[in-house]
Structures are given as structure tokens and as C-alpha cells.
Amino acid sequence: NAGVTQTPKFQVLKTGQSMTLQCAQDMNHEYMSWYRQDPGMGLRLIHYSVGAGITDQGEVPNGYNVSRSTTEDFPLRLLSAAPSQTSVYFCASTGGIGGYTFGSGTRLTVV
């Protein structure tokens, strides 16, 4: 049981490049979310999903796309990377009331 797996752990992008941050969970959780965390800040919700085929925007969705074709996977796409998207990204999942399980994060630097 691996929990929530995020790849890659580290990434450096040039401004304007696109990429996909991968997130997979093996707990059959319906609910998944993406957060970003900037230095000294709390976590801000980017997008979330309440099940396969259903996604919605969080607090800071601009510049990011998501899709949820399967229960297990919830990738986050950066369309055209900007330095303001330099951050640590966390994916999380939950099966219900009992709290989210978070991944170990992807540390992204956009130069």
C-alpha cells in the first residue's frame, strides 16, 4: 500500500514550458486535491476532484489544468510555466470523513 505517490520529486522548468505533475493513489479514494505551498505560507487549494470525471477549481486555479479519468490518477498540468509558479506542490486524497493522505510533494522551480 503505497498511499499517495507524486512524481517527479524535483523539477526545474524554463519560463513558458509545460509539464505534468503526476499523482496516483492506491487506496480507492474518491476525493483528490492539489495544493501549492509557498515559503512561509500555508497550503492553497488549486483544483480538486470528487470522483472520476468530476473536477472543480480551488482558490488559485489560474495557469493549471486537471483531469480525472480514473479513480487512481489526478495529474496537474502547467500550461505555460511562469516564475510565480515556483512552489512545492502537494497532492492529497481521502475516502471520506477520515482526513486526507498527502503525498511527499513536488518541488518545482521555474527560471
Partner 1 sequence: DAKTTQPPSMDCAEGRAANLPCNHSTISGNEYVYWYRQIHSQGPQYIIHGLKNNETNEMASLIITEDRKSSTLILPHATLRDTAVYYCTGKSGGSNYKLTFGKGTLLTVNP
- For the CB of residue 16, give the shortest distance to partner 1 in the complex, in Å: 27
- For the CB of residue 110, give the shortest distance to partner 1 in the complex, in Å: 18
- For the CB of residue 52, give the shortest distance to partner 1 in the complex, in Å: 15
Chain positions contacting partner 1, by CB under 8 A: 4, 31, 33, 35, 40-45, 48, 50, 58-59, 88, 90, 92, 94, 96-105
DSSP strand E in the chain: where? 4-7, 10-13, 19-25, 31-37, 43-51, 54-57, 64-66, 76-78, 87-94, 101-102, 106-110
- Please name the residues in contact with 26: beta carbons below 8 A apart, sequence gap of 6 or more: 1, 2, 3, 5, 72
Which residue number, 85 or 93, has a Cβ lying nearer to partner 1? 93
Which residue number, 31 or 73, has a Cβ lying nearer to partner 1? 31
